[in-house]
Amino acid sequence: MNRKGLVLWLTGLSGAGKTTIAKGLEHELRERGCLVEVLDGDVIRTNLSKGLGFSKEDREINIRRIGFVANLLSRNGVVAIVAAISPYRTARKELRQTIENFIEVYVNASLQVCEERDVKGLYARARAGEIKAFTGIDDLYEEPLNPDIVCYTFEESIQQSVAKVTAKLEELDYISAYQRCEN
């Protein structure tokens, strides 16, 4: 059985909804018979990138590591869904150039919305100076200039965002509305 792998790279601020959309996509794509793996930025930092800090260099190393693993998975027929802030355009551009089937999904929510959703209290801690180099507060987040898909999570439901991504994958012929993830 020949399967078409790809990397769905969800980028956006902390609290924008990347992980929630990734889980929804994982469920939808598994229902369609796809091989799927979610690479969540928080989980990767704890395991694969333990010891890295939050300097620009360390963040780029982290993104390259995630990209390397995602690319390996996609080359083997897996839909690798990455949910990682990945704040720098240059790092995302590098991934796009080195990963054959790369789809950038910008999970767009304003800083204000993300702060309101902040269940972990990270933004409050960053504003209080307890967390340094926090993306969106005292470190830069460079919005994608030409993402393949934009999910506006402040006005779309999770189901609508998942449906939008799924429809784009159908349009690009990665998946079919009527068939499993097989070529």
What is the distance between the alpha carbons of residues 60 and 67, in angstroms, rounded to a whole number? 10
CA 132 to CA 126: how far, in whole Å?
6
Active site residues: 86
For 136, the 3-state DSSP assignment is coil
Give the containing element (helix H, strand E) for 149. strand 149-152
DSSP 89-120: HHHHHHHHHH-TTEEEEEEE--HHHHHHH-TT
Is residue 97 classed as helix, strand or coil in its secondary structure? helix
Q: What are the structure tokens assigned to 79, written together? A: 């839909």
Contact 135, 85 (CB under 8 A): yes
- Which neighbouring-strand residues pair with 30? none
Residue 111 is encoded by which pair of tokens?
Answer: 């800083």
Q: Across the strands, what pairs with 135? A: 139
